[in-house]
Amino acid sequence: MNDQATNLRRLKEASLNHKKTRVIAVTSGKGGVGKTNISLNFALGLAAEGKKVLLFDLDIGMANIDILLGISTRLHITDLIEGNATIWEIMKEGPLGTCIITGGSGFKDVFTLSQEHVERFTNQLLQLDGHFDFIIFDMGAGASKESLQFILSAHEYFLVTTPEPTSITDGYAMIKYIYGKNSHIPASLIVNRTANWKEGRSTAYNIQQATERFLGKEITFLGCVPQDSFVLQSVKKQDPFYTAYPRSAATQAIRQMVYCYLGEREDKQFASFHRFINKLTAFMKGDKG
């Protein structure tokens, strides 16, 4: 516990080291596709490549990153909103040097805040600028108004789907809905629980064809994660498969996905973290402009 507190304090006090923080929102068209597990293990994959990563659990009603990690937290987002804790105090240290913020049972209040609470929340978020290479928001499934506040403010979003027809249909509907709100936000597709790479690529291709034909939008195929018994074992052990089973097919898929992602994004320009905060503040205050 003391080591964890010391590490987080060092992170807070460290020089910013010229980090430019990229914000990723991870969502899905429907529940039950393994979105949170993908978010967690992708974060670990980034950390394994030397990136400083904060994983933020914002999945209303299904916040379970703490369960996947087997950790318990005394302070939650609600404590931050009420002014009883800082954003650094509600963080937990995760595997490979990642940082985790869990939702807690009452965290849905983050989406229905007073003006004063919005200011407090976003001012605390602003303190993270420069301390992390990536902040990943694990959002709820579906196109709720609340989730869209973060998705539309983020630098990009990942959509997680599976080869199941209903998942594909709901995934496309989610992309279409987000496109209707912001046609410029970059989108990437991750296909989970595939029988093999061919099935994953075929699933992604079908969605890509639909988005290009009917929306005129290109969506990147980030990769696929195969159906793997080690994933279920890791959930039961409350130990992420990336660290628990480093040679598993699922871990190898995440590792390749991260490698490709960093190779494609490393030199690309994106808006400042302040721009993300300004957009999020406007959405949370009800200003759609």
pLDDT in tens, 200-257: 999 999 999 999 999 999 999 999 999 999 999 999 999 999 999 999 999 999 999 9
Give me the residues paired with residue 99 across strands: 54, 93
CA distance 111 to 121: 11
43-50 mean pLDDT: 98
Is residue 5 assigned to a domain? Answer: no
CA distance 103 to 110: 10
Question: What is the number of domains present in the chain?
Answer: 1
Q: What is the pLDDT of the chain when averaged over all its residues?
A: 89
7-30 mean pLDDT: 75
In the predicted model, is pLDDT for residue 107 greater than 60?
no
* pLDDT band per the 50, 70, 90 thresholds, residue 285: confident
Which of 48-57, 106-115, 138-147, 185-194 comes out lowest in average pLDDT?
106-115
What per-residue confidence (pLDDT) applies to 94?
95
Q: Count Cβ neighbours within 10 Å for each residue of 50-59 and write b for 16 or more, e otherwise.
A: ebbbbbbbbb
Which of 5-19, 109-123, 224-238 comes out lowest in average pLDDT?
5-19
Is residue 14 assigned to a domain? Answer: no
Distances (CA, A) of 57 to 101, 258, 261: 6, 20, 22
In the predicted model, is pLDDT for residue 56 greater than 80?
yes
Q: Which of 204, 203, 198, 147 is nearest to 26 (CA)?
A: 147
What per-residue confidence (pLDDT) applies to 267?
67
In the predicted model, is pLDDT for residue 44 greater than 60?
yes
CA distance 55 to 74: 17
What per-residue confidence (pLDDT) applies to 289?
43
- 180: tokens are 């209707």
Is residue 278 assigned to a domain? Answer: yes
What per-residue confidence (pLDDT) applies to 144?
79
- 195: tokens are 């029988």
Is residue 64 assigned to a domain? Answer: yes
87-112 mean pLDDT: 82
Question: Greater confidence, 12 or 239?
Answer: 239
Is residue 10 assigned to a domain? Answer: no
| Structural domain range at position 205 | 20-284
Per DSSP bridges, beta strands 92-93 and 99-101 are antiparallel
Cα dihedral 81/82/84/88 (nearest 10)? 0
* pLDDT band per the 50, 70, 90 thresholds, residue 288: very low
Distances (CA, A) of 115 to 46, 181, 215, 287: 35, 23, 36, 12
270-280 mean pLDDT: 92
CATH number assigned to the domain comprising residue 64: 3.40.50.300
Distances (CA, A) of 247 to 74, 192, 231, 253: 34, 18, 12, 10
119-142 mean pLDDT: 93
Is residue 7 assigned to a domain? Answer: no
Is residue 271 assigned to a domain? Answer: yes
Question: Greater confidence, 15 or 108?
Answer: 108
Is residue 8 assigned to a domain? Answer: no
* pLDDT band per the 50, 70, 90 thresholds, residue 2: low
Per DSSP bridges, beta strands 53-58 and 187-194 are unpaired
SS (H, E, C) the chain: CHHHHHHHHHHHHCCCCCCCCEEEEEEECCCCCCHHHHHHHHHHHHHHCCCCEEEEEECCCCCCHHHHHCCCCCCCHHHHHCCCCCCCCCCEECHHHCEEECCCCCHHHHHCCCHHHHHHHHHHHHCCCCCCCEEEEEECCCCCHHHHHHHCCCCEEEEEECCCHHHHHHHHHHHHHHHHHCCCCCEEEEEEEECCHHHHHHHHHHHHHHHHHHCCCCCEEEEEEECCHHHHHHHHHCCCHHHHCCCCHHHHHHHHHHHHHHHHHCCCCCCCHHHHHHHHHHHHCCCCC
- 63: tokens are 């916040």
